[in-house]
Structure 1
């Protein structure tokens, strides 16, 4: 079943985050994930949210997501994201009707 990783982040250090972004694509393309959507300063249409960015990624399975997340290549760069952003990354299942 497809799973979606949804990152809701606030960027605290733009220089370090840009370094993470520069390295992200090369690592991400080695795995089965796809970036479906992202937006800086998304428009909030209901409720409140004060973050800076939303990123939605799809993986064919939770196992594929974990393979990427725990890969040596990703672990080498993720420290830049941890040190430059705050906010959760949520993992949700795809809906069977989609």
Structure 2
């Protein structure tokens, strides 16, 4: 099952460290089958509430690949470049099976 890494980043200080992070992240994802699904604020339209910041979403073939990518020496080496220059939340979440319906979570 596909696993997604999702980051909601705020207050990004776009400078040399963020540029170095962006230049390095693709190579860290490649060995784990990672790919960008969403990157940045794009052309978002807020329909309810308020939303500040950017959403970044990566896909990985499964949970193990996503966890291995995040823990990899290559990603851990560049992670401080982002974390020193932004605030945010990062999580891993599994996708749903084809045909999933809202009521499937009821039990």
How big is the alpha-carbon RMSD for the aligned residues of Structure 1 and Structure 2?
1.6
Counterparts of 2:12 and 2:58, CA distance in 1: 22
TM-score by length of 1: 0.86
- Contact 2:66–2:92 (CA<8 Å) still a contact in 1? no
The answer to whether the aligner puts 1:93 opposite 2:94 as a matched pair is yes
Aligned length: 97
Counterparts of 1:50 and 1:37, CA distance in 2: 16
Unaligned runs of 5+ in 1: none
Counterparts of 1:19 and 1:11, CA distance in 2: 17
CA-to-aligned-CA distance 1:79-98 (integer Å, 9 cap, x gap): 10110111111222111126
Counterparts of 1:76 and 1:39, CA distance in 2: 22
Counterparts of 1:4 and 1:37, CA distance in 2: 11
Q: What is the Cα deviation at residue 40 of structure 1?
A: 2.5
TM-score by length of 2: 0.80
Structure with higher Rg: it is 2
Matches within 5 A, 1:18-97: 18-40=19-41, 42-51=44-53, 53-97=54-98
